[in-house]
Structure 1
Amino acid sequence: MKKVKWLSPLIAFSVLLSGCVNSANPQTPAASSGTSATAETTGESAVKPNLTVAYSEGGTTLDPAEANDLTSDTLVLATYDQLVTYGIKNVDGADIANTEDIQPMLAESWEVSADNTVYTFKLKSGVKFQSGNPVDAEAVAYSFDRVGKSSSGSFLYGMAAIKSVTAKDESTVEVVLNNPNHMFLQIIAMYTFSIVDQKAVEGQNADYLKTNAAGSGPFKLEKWDPASEAVFTANETYWQGAPKLGKVTLKFTKEASNRVLLLSKGDVDMSIEIPPKDVNSLQGNNELNIQSNASNRILFFAMNNKVKPFDNVKVRQAVSYAIPYDELLSGVMYGQAKQMKSSVASNTPGFTDAGYVYEYNLDKAKALLKEAGYENGFTFDFTLGSGFDDWEDDAVLIQAELAKIGVTMNINKLARAQFLEKQKENNLTSYISKWTSFVNDPGYHLGFLLYGKGSSNYINYQNAEVDKLWEQANNETDQQKRSELYKKAQEIINTEAPWAYLYEYNRIVGMNKNISGYAFYPDEVIRFYPLSKQE
């Protein structure tokens, strides 16, 4: 017997997780360049405003199944759609995604079997890809299958516990799971599971979607040059209504100071990744609105749990007591972060700081080193990846404090690309790293980073009890019981200190005050639909 999870019609104005398309869609001509674009759906001439946004990086791919950086994710979410999306809630005057409120998107409704292992989705009728091909069940099955076979998305496919995806008829898709999974709907709301136009892709070369796109979303990609800019134009026949913007241009501007300058001068409408040190001055500009939202992005001081001396829990705890937390928050982050007190961000459902006892206390740190057999200290190598000013500032401050307890920290700098490759080898002794959980759930976060078999468990943390609790929680359908299991896992991790927790970032986006419709999502990607601009 099946229980109905969603049967209401798709709300026409639900906020999107959208994606990208390319200029090679001859059926849908792009708007001409210039300062405005013209809407044609009503037969009337209506000038639409254009939006320009400063980004730091140019992206690496347009393929939803392979995208894994902020700009690539943005390219995908600009013109692709997914089966489901998140609702929006207002918290202290700011609109943020409600990750516990799953809303229909391309799926009009769905049912779930009594054992929570079979999801049957009914697709919204009449929706078309930008090519004119229908969005049908075959396209959904094809898109999910691509994720399962991809290099970047396959772990998510496994985390979602997907066993099979079958097109039952043109508008019905059946997804069978290996076991009940409370994160399934949240995971398939991600850009990774965007629905791809199978008919447009078939017959193309294997890497066609890396530089081309085939979606059904609100914007078309007119141009993408990772060295300079990406340009989107409105999809005037979009099934949820034409966008309020005629064109969106992403200006790739590596230097943060230049992004701040462009925003201050009004040369761009929005800018992402605003440095914390610039927030106060920008907030003094009456023409700007600076959004600073608590995020799921965390920063931690990683210690390889299989490498001496960090295989000793007392050493890891000693390091945690030697961190100058207040100085990091005020001197490095200028108040645009909060102290991290668990292995998951504090705004994650099921968060607990039980077992967290660490505060700046060098006497306690020295005592723990003595108990661990390192009364005279030790020397270790620390690898610093480039690209983030706060990482280097943090490392220098921590190095100075560790020296006070007899510990010598040798800082070795690496270019970011090299750092990421070395990190994946699981043998770096120590480093600073950040993480953003796109699914706001402890299972997602711990499953990647601290589960014994986690794909991003680069510090070799192994705890059989934590693994057991994670596995039990993933199969638990009762939310309260699941939360308690995750809390027990966090308490163990907090006590064992596989990392020294540093801070939780605020996500800072600057925009002109004439921009409306912005909402913060845990993946930190701006949704350009339904943004609007008053001119």
Structure 2
Amino acid sequence: MKKFKWFSAMIALTVVLGGCASNANQQPAASGSGEAAKPAPTLTVAYSEGGTTMDPAEANDLTSDTLVLATYDQLVTYGVKTVDGADVANTEDIQPMLAESWEVSDDNKTYTFKIKSGLKFQSGNPVNADAVVYSFDRVAKSSSGSFLYGMADIKSVTAKDDSTVEIVLNKANHMFTQIIAMYTFSIVDQKLVEEKGDDYLKTNAAGSGPFTLEKWDPASEAVFQANNDYWQGAPKLSKVTLKFTKEASNRVLLLNKSDVDMAIEIPPKDVAALQENSNLTIKSNASNRILFFAMNNNVKPFDNEKVRQAINYAIPYDQLINDVMYGQAKEMKSAVASNTPGFTDAGYVYEYNLDKAKELLKEAGYAEGFSFDFTLGSGFDDWEYDAVLIQAELAKIGVKMNINKVARAQFLEQQKEGNLVSYISKWTSFVNDPGYHLGFLLYGKGSSNYIHYNNAEVNKLWEEAGAEPDQAKRNELYMKAQEIITTEAPWAYLYEYNRVVGMNNKVSGYVYYPDEVLRFYPLSKEQ
């Protein structure tokens, strides 16, 4: 039996207990002045959308996920590391949260979690093993989070006593703790929900997190108040307000004028101008959000590997990154993002080379070119610019790309049907692991493998990696799979996005997470 996190939990407990004497998160009274302590500062953030639900098991958009993480905790969480001077989540380093420790059986199938004693939900109800079982059961039965429950491969969740939870997996799964650290697996106040009814969670919070929900109007704003009784210590912010501002230009204006403290989803074209404002800090982090040109491997001529490779040689990569993304992206050289553990660019030989593209088309039997339909989903300016640039380059090698622009909802519906000939799409892997990423997109049975790529060797490598407990050996298997995929070119790799967040210089504590969701608890602001 392997034991985890006793030492770090003891340190955390020591810090919390020590903080009882002088909490670093609280403003002390002014010495000798008789003045009351200043209240903690407030934070205002410009968001694009207002969110759709407060229910952790059903949240699946950026704003809803943010609402959940402000008000709930999970059994475990991710560590933090510094990369190139920036704080980023270390998804390989799983740290205690509501669970102070856990043990793993020798066959890596049974996890026994010990919940910290004395924890309470914001209602005052105790955080206990029954609440964990209840919360996981809700995820299993949900319409949104159930796929993650399945990916975690959970067989059973049992309360062994009031503070002990046993989770048994169907088979060993190296991604398990990474998955349950996600907002989907937030621990819900069972007693409160049973009292109020399950629909209560759609618009209200029932968590133990650092902030309480004061108001949520998806058309205007969400307001959170600090949970001063939070078990990790009161937040450094007394209030957080999310201003829902759909137009990107308005978010940029609000940030530039210091009418908000932070803004997300900043257009690449505005980054340079914002960087000229000495009152602002613009965080531009490499993300694992990728953009690719997908080709249906079941449809002629994209069932021909040489044709797909030819398309890769006709992509104007530098133009896409510099002219469309204004440098706020980097070249993509694998189906897996470059900041994912186990990444390799083996097999990547592509560059903008129309002569090579023509040569490959000739070898494939398409010396005179061909015509194909391309479906463009609306809603993203860069997709449209990319499509037009690629269309122009393909025309130079005799390939006619017929662009059909459709509404975002229609595009997503058509994409899921799996009949689109070609399209541009993006993907963010919330679990920063090749198994998660490839399992959805390029494994033969992957639920998001809409281009029908199916390579028996890749499938076998993915399955073997999933059962391999040794990370180094596992990564070797994933790397072999990536090399095969890159060589066979089911996609043309376009770029990896940067995650751009703008903030006033008074704001500190920002940490980048692969799911791109802001965590407010680490943030602080100078008065």
| Band the TM-score falls in, shorter-chain normalisation | over 0.9
State the 1:204 CA deviation. Answer: 4.3
Which of 86, 107, 122 is matched with 1:130 structurally? 122
Please state whether the residue corresponding to 2:214 is helix, strand or coil. Answer: strand
Select the residue among 288, 307, 320 that pairs with 2:280: 288
Alignment match of 2:291 (pick from 294, 299, 309): 299
Distance in 1 separating the partners of 2:259 and 2:471: 48
2:343 equivalent in structure 1? 351
Q: What is the CA–CA distance in structure 2 between the aligned matches of 1:44 and 1:428, rounded to whole Å?
A: 65
Q: 1:105 aligns with which of 72, 86, 97?
A: 97
Partner of 2:500: 508
Instruction: Map Cα deviations across residues 483-508 of structure 1 (whole Å, 9 max, x no partner).
Output: 11000110111011111000001100
Cα distance in 2 for partners of 1:441, 1:354 equals 18
Quote the Cα distance in structure 2 between the aligned partners of 1:10 and 1:348.
30
Specify the alignment match of 1:83 in structure 2: 75
Instruction: Say which of 269, 274, 279 aligns to 1:277.
Output: 269
1:234 is matched with which residue? Answer: 226
Q: Spell out the pairing of 1:351-500 with structure 2 (5 A cutoff).
A: 351-500=343-492
C-alpha distance in 2 between matches for 1:476 and 1:494:
23
* 1:74 pairs with 2:66: yes
Partner-residue secondary structure (3-state), 1:424: helix
1:6/1:111 contact within 8 Å kept: no
1: distance between equivalents of 2:105 and 2:60? Answer: 32
Cα displacement string for residues 71-127 of structure 1 (whole angstroms, at most 9, x for unaligned residues): 111111111100111111112211111111111000000000011110000001111
Give the counterpart letter for 1:7 in structure 2. W
Are residue 252 (structure 1) and residue 244 (structure 2) matched?
Answer: yes
State the match for 2:309 in structure 1: 317
Q: 2:238, 2:10 → 1: CA distance?
A: 24
Separation in structure 2 between the aligned mates of residue 129 and residue 71 of structure 1, nearest angstrom: 22
Choose from 326, 336, 353 the match for 1:334.
326
Distance (whole Å) between structure 2 residues aligned to residue 272 and residue 348 of structure 1 = 23
User: Partner residue of 1:211?
Assistant: 203
| CA offsets 1:388-412 (integer angstroms, 9 cap, x no match) | 1111111110010011111111111
Q: What's the CA shift string for 1:156-195, capped at 9, x where partnerless?
A: 1111121111010010000101111111111111111111
Q: SS where residue 473 of structure 1 aligns? A: helix
Q: Which residue of 2 aligns with 1:6?
A: 5
CA distance in 2, matches of 1:240, 1:193: 19
- Distance in 1 (CA, whole Å) between partners of 2:355 and 2:11 is 59
Greater fraction of residues in helix:
2
CA separation in 1, counterparts of 2:38 and 2:157?
Answer: 43
CA contact (8 A) 1:133 1:197 kept: yes
Equivalent residue for 2:515?
523
1:387 to partner: Cα distance: 1.4
Work out the number of aligned pairs and report it.
Answer: 511
Is the partner of 1:202 in helix, strand or coil?
A: helix
Question: Bigger shift: 83-92 or 107-116?
Answer: 83-92
TM-score by length of 1: 0.93
Q: Are 2:158 and 1:166 equivalent residues in the alignment?
A: yes
Instruction: Please name the residue that 2:177 is paired with.
Output: 185
Q: Is contact 1:474–1:482 with CA below 8 Å preserved after alignment?
A: yes
Distance in 2 of aligned mates of 1:59 and 1:314:
43
Cα RMSD, aligned residues only? 1.9
- Displacement of 1:135: 0.7
CA distance in 2, matches of 1:109, 1:321: 51
The alpha-carbon deviation at position 205 of structure 1 amounts to 4.3
Contact 1:13 1:240 in 2 (8 A): no
**Is the CA contact 1:293–1:506 (under 8 Å) kept in the aligned structure 2?**
yes
User: How many Å separate the matches in 1 of 2:499 and 2:418?
Assistant: 29
Aligned twin of 1:23? none
Deviation at 1:213, TM superposition (A): 2.1
SS in 2 for 1:382: strand
Shift of 1:149: 1.6
> How far, CA to CA, are the matches of 1:11 and 1:483 in structure 2?
32
Which range is displaced more, 365-374 or 512-521?
Answer: 365-374
1:416 Cα offset (Å): 1.4
Residues 323-349 of structure 1: CA distance to partner in whole angstroms, max 9, x if unpaired? Answer: 000111111111111100000001111
2:345 and 2:13 map into 1 onto residues whose CA distance is 38
User: Quick one: which amino acid aligns to residue 420 of structure 1?
Assistant: L
Q: Which amino acid is the alignment partner of residue 266 of structure 2? A: I
Match of 1:19 in 2: none
Percent pairwise identity = 80
Pick closer, same or farther for the CA change 1:44–1:107 going to 2, 3 Å. farther
| Match in the other structure for 1:265 | 257
What letter corresponds to residue 310 of structure 2 in structure 1?
A
Q: CA deviation at 1:46?
A: 3.6
Cα deviation, 1:407-443, whole Å, max 9, x if unaligned, reads: 1111111221221122111111111111111111101
Q: Is the 8 A contact 1:10 1:105 kept in 2?
A: no
Q: State the match for 1:157 in structure 2.
A: 149
- Which residue in the other structure is 1:94 paired with? 86
Q: CA deviation at 1:212?
A: 2.1
Q: Secondary structure at the match of 1:102?
A: strand
| Alpha-carbon distance in 1 for matches of 2:10, 2:403 | 53
Aligned to 1:533: 525
Question: In 2, distance between residues paired with 1:229 and 1:321?
Answer: 46
DSSP 3-state at the match of 1:88: strand
Quick one: distance in 2 between partners of 1:443 and 1:104? 23
Aligned AA (2:201): L
SS of corresponding position for 2:40: strand
Structure 1 pair 207–367 and aligned structure 2 pair: CA distance change class (3 A): farther
Give me the whole-angstrom Cα distance separating, in 2, the residues matched to 1:495 and 1:151.
36
SS at the partner of 1:510? Answer: strand
Gaps of 5+ in 1: 15-37
